[in-house]
Each structure stands twice: as C-alpha cells, then as structure tokens.
Amino acid sequence: MSKTTPHIIRAGIRSRKVSVPHLLLALIVVVYLAVGGLYAVFTPPWQSPDEPAHYNYVRQIAARGGCCPVIESGDWQQAYQEELMSARFDPALLSGLETLQYEDHQPPLYYLLARAWTPQPERGLLVQMRLLSVLIGAGVALCAFGVGWLLLPERPQVAPAMAALVAFLPQHVHMLASVNNDGLAELIVGLTLAASIYYLQDRPSYVLYPVITAGLMLAIWAAVAILGALVYDPARDGATGANLLAMLAAAGMLAAAVYWGYNWLKHPDKRRLHVRPWSLGLLVGLGLVTKVSTLLLVGIVPAAILLKWWFDRRSRKTAAAVHIPAQAARRGALAVWRYRDTTLGRAAISTARRALPGALRSRLQPLLPLLRGWAVFALPVIALGGLWALRNISVYGFPDVFGLGRHDLVVAEQLRTADLIADIGLSVYLGQALRTTFTSFWGQFGWMAAPMPGWIYGLILALLALAGSGWIAAAVSYRRKAEDAKPAGGPTWRAAAALVLALTAALALLAYVYYNTSFVQYQGRYLYPGLIPLALALAAGVDAWQRLIFARARRPRPYMVYSTVLPFLAFAPLDLYLLWRWIIPALTP
C-alpha cells in the first residue's frame, strides 16, 4: 500500500480521518429524521393502523397513574371503526374516539416512555407523540448498520445500504411516524441481533456500556410499574400510590445510572464491555415487556449461545482421546459378566462402579458452560417476563400469560381466517394473502386503504430480482474460484451469526403465518421483526453485482464501491413523493 493512497483498502474506500460508511450513516439518519418528521406532521390524524387504540393506552395511564390498563368488553367497536375508516376519520365523527381501547392488553414499556415524552397526552399533541416513534426508528436504522458492519467488515458498503433500506422503506416510515409500540419492539430486536454478533465474536465494544446502562434503567422502570399494577389500585390508593411508585422507579433508575457512571469514570479500562448471556437476557426481557412480537428472541438467543458453545468446542484444540474398538469393548464386557461371581470379576465390577461417576462427570463437563449460559440468560428473562405474566394471570386468569386470550374474546367480531376460506375458497385466499402481504410490506398506507401506484411495485420487484440474481451470480463466481482454492476451514462465528439471522427471519415468518391462522391479518408490517435480516440479504445481493462489475478495477473509486447504496437511498425521494402526491390526498377527510 503506497503512501500516496493511504485511504484505499482492499474491500472499500476509507479515509484515516473520515470513514465513508459512517458519513453515509450520518446522512441517512439526518434525512430519515427529516422524512419521518414530515410524515409525523402531515399524515392525517389517526390514519395509521390501530393508532387511536395506542394513543388511548397512553392517555389512560396518564389519567389513572401507574400502568397497565385492562382490556374489556366494549373496547373493540367494529361498526364505529368501519364508519371512521370509511369517512377517513372525519373530525365530526371523533366523539367516541377515546372508547377504542382494544390495545389495552399490550405490555407497558413503550407507553411508559410515551407518557414520559408527553405527560398530558391529548389529541392536539398527536404529532409530538408521533415524533417519539420517529426517534426510536432512527435507532432501528443504526442497529441495521451495526449488524451489517459487524458481519461484513470487509464489505463496508453493505452496512449503509442496510440502514438506508430500513430507514426509507415507505411502509416502515409510515409506521415509524405514528403512535404504536412496533418501533420500540424492532429496536430491541435489532439491539439483540447486534449484541448476539458481538457475543459470537467475543468482542468488546464501547457501545455496549450505554446500551446496558439504559437497558437496566428501563428494566427497573418497567419492573416497578408492573409490580405496582399487581399491588396498587388507583381507585383505592389514588395519587399517593402512583407518586410512591414513580419515586421508587426514579430512585432505582438513578442508582443504576450512578453505579454505571461511577464505573465509567473510575475504571476507563473497563469501558469496553463483552456481551454476556445476562445482558442478552436483559434485552430479551425488555422485549417481553414491550410487545409479544419479540417472543421470537426467546428462541434466537439460546440458539446463539448454543452455536457459540458448539463452535468453540469444535475449534478448541484438545488432546486426542484413546478409543477402544467397539468389538473389543463388547468382548470385555461379556467376559466380566461371565466371570462376575469370581474374585476377579467382582473386582472388575467394583472398579467400574467407582469409575462410573467420574466418567459421567467427564462426559457432562463440556455441557456445563452451555447450561450455565442458558441459566444466566434465563434469569432476567424470567424476572421481567415473569412479572408481566403474573400480572396478566392475576387479571385475566391462567393460562392467559400474555393477555391474548382476553384480546381474542374482545375482538371476536374480527374476520376469522376459517370463515373467509369457507366463503371464498383456499386458493383464492392464498392468492389474496400473498398479494396483500407483499403490497402492505412495501407500502399500503392508512388502514390498508391506500396502496402505492402499480409502477412502484414493479420497481420493487426489479430490485428484488436484482438482489436475487446477485446471489446466484456470486454463488457461481465463488464456485469457480473455489475449484482452485484451498478448502475452507471449519465453522466460524460468521457462520453462527448467519444462522442466527436466518433463524430470526424464519421465526418472524412463522409467527406471521401462525397469527393469520386465526384472524385475517395479512399486513406486511407484522414481518418487520425480520426486517434487518431481509435488508442484509437484499444489500448483499445488490453488492454482489457491484463486486462482479468492478472486479477488474485495480483501485476502486468510492462511487464504484458505494454504488451498492444508491438503489436503497432512492427510497428517500420516493417517500416524499408518496407523502405529498399519494398519502395526504388519499387519507385526508
């Protein structure tokens, strides 16, 4: 590497003073905040799925203190909601808006944050409440960048491409600019995925310190609020109980902040933290008190712990064990059994009995790190998720640990999948479900009332074809190179991380399918817990073409390497076009 071109590296362009990927990330976040802010301000009020019910959750906890309202009969009003949607939420019909409370079964963390952000929520402050979701969405884009940066450091152009897709996907912007708990759930999923990759790498980072500190503070806040819901009755205790709970939560959060802040200042050498199973459990526990869609993390993180344990065992150099041939072992056992009544036979059996516990311990010893990791991970998950489950059991009865059973009873008027299939047939249903899932994943605004123009879906299909063909072309190119290359070594942390991301996408899809076996809810936004793995797949596929096209360039220019990001940045102007020319005209009463 010459002194005249210190900024050129093998897989991309990076300056010693300024990193191009991080400049792009800063640009993406700034533009996203601007676009998301415009969506929050100019999207007509209540024109986002379930926004009135989420707003009413915040309003209720502000009015009664504490947390956790109870979903009851009458919270779902099918006829009134259809009237509102058909009239585009005409202000003349909003007299009963506060009665839409069918999201009262949701976990409380997002709503506690929203209440702190807007202490006295009212209709006139809807934009302010939406802006909290916009800020949370910026964190989701940062997590997407982090996952790409950690997984493919030698391809720095992939990370900003992932962040751009997550930040500017039209339906995602629309959802992140409304009042709901989806964004916070996605943020926790993204943080958990990034932390899992750090864990698999066994790599310390400065970023983990503030994340763990904030996570502990939020965990204390949520735990105190849920405990209060178990023992505190607003009608009985009035404002006194709410004030005591607030003081207790504030004291706990302050203690956590002081402790971690003291350690930050006192021990500079410990600012770079390693991810441990307990910190992954903390994130998963926070997910369980945010939204049920994060339940997939309960399977993903133990899988990551298992993969790390397995790959560490495979890569660890151990002394070769002496193996006794199976046939000789069987002959020896038969001989001992045949002469068991002799002195020699009894001595052999006695020796085997004494050696058996040690042999079992030696067999089980390698499992101890795995079992210990699972146990440490489970502690914060059980502490936070268990508290929420106890609260729900106390209100709704066993085994309704998530409140979903009561929710299903309250929304019994919703269209059921079995009824729709009986009405239109399975083949028609499947075609309808696939089409609507695709269109609503990319952009179908309002209460599914305003799909994008058809030509935009055509461009999206072209992007998907480009990414898919990129994967095929990369596989063919890799196979040709591998014929003359040395065989690759054993499994690595990257293989484990890829499996974790694939499992995330698979579980998100399975959860979506499972939900739709009961209710007709083929809304693509329910797949967003798997958005980061999808963004990685699309960005890597597009980047494969960039690498093949410019493979012969000796010194790749920045516009060559980072051309991968351009198709995803193009969603930003598309978002503005859709807002002004499509969403506002289609959804304004």
Q: What is the pLDDT along the chain (589 residues), one digit of tens a residue?
A: 333 333 333 344 444 456 899 999 999 999 999 999 999 999 999 999 999 999 999 999 988 877 889 999 999 999 999 999 999 999 999 999 999 999 999 999 999 999 999 999 999 999 999 999 999 999 999 999 999 999 999 899 999 999 999 999 999 999 999 999 999 999 999 999 999 999 999 888 888 888 888 898 899 889 888 888 887 766 655 555 666 666 666 777 777 777 767 676 776 666 788 899 999 999 999 999 999 999 999 999 999 999 999 888 876 644 334 444 555 555 555 555 555 566 666 665 666 555 556 555 566 677 888 999 999 999 999 999 999 999 999 999 999 999 999 999 999 888 899 999 999 999 999 999 999 999 999 999 999 999 999 999 999 999 999 999 999 988 887 666 555 444 444 458 899 999 999 999 999 999 999 999 999 898 999 999 999 999 999 999 999 998 888 877 667 677 777 889 999 999 999 999 999 999 999 999 9
Tokens, residue 30: 């700034």
Burial 220-246 (b: 16+ CB within 10 A, else e): bbbbbbbbbbeebebeebeeebbeebb
517 shares a domain with 429: yes
116 shares a domain with 48: yes
CB of 152 closer than 8 Å to CB of 159? yes
CB of 68 closer than 8 Å to CB of 566? no
Query: For residues 376 and 372, what is the distance between their CA atoms, to the nearest angstrom?
Result: 6
132 shares a domain with 281: yes
Where in the sequence is the domain holding 337, given as residue range(s)? 330-369
355 shares a domain with 404: no
Looking at residue 240, its pLDDT comes to 58
- Cβ within 8 Å of residue 261, ≥6 positions away: 213
Looking at residue 487, its pLDDT comes to 44
Say if strands 8-9 and 12-13 run parallel, antiparallel, or are unpaired.
antiparallel
341 shares a domain with 199: no
Q: Does residue 357 sit within a domain? A: yes
Q: Does residue 225 sit within a domain? A: no
Burial 191-209 (b: 16+ CB within 10 A, else e): bbbbbbbbbbbeeebebbb
Q: Does residue 168 sit within a domain? A: yes
358 shares a domain with 290: no
178 shares a domain with 90: yes
Looking at residue 267, its pLDDT comes to 67
Q: Does residue 436 sit within a domain? A: yes
Neighbours of 17 (CB within 10 A): 6
466 shares a domain with 420: yes
305 shares a domain with 190: yes
Q: Does residue 113 sit within a domain? A: yes
- For 519, which DSSP code? B
The domain boundary residue, chosen from 338, 369, 400: 369
526 shares a domain with 555: yes
485 shares a domain with 353: no
Looking at residue 544, its pLDDT comes to 92
DSSP 217-263: HHHHHHHHHHHHHHH--HHHHHHHHHHHHHHHHHHHHHHHHHHHHHH
Looking at residue 210, its pLDDT comes to 86
Domain count, the chain: 2
Q: Does residue 182 sit within a domain? A: yes
Residue 401, burial from CB neighbour count under 10 angstroms (0-12, 13-18, 19+)? middle
The domain boundary residue, chosen from 369, 398, 433: 369
Residue 519, strand partner residues: 416
Neighbours of 370 (CB within 10 A): 17
344 shares a domain with 307: no
Q: Does residue 219 sit within a domain? A: no
* 282-284-287 Cα angle (round to 5): 115
The pTM of this model reads: 0.89
Say if strands 444-445 and 8-9 run parallel, antiparallel, or are unpaired.
unpaired
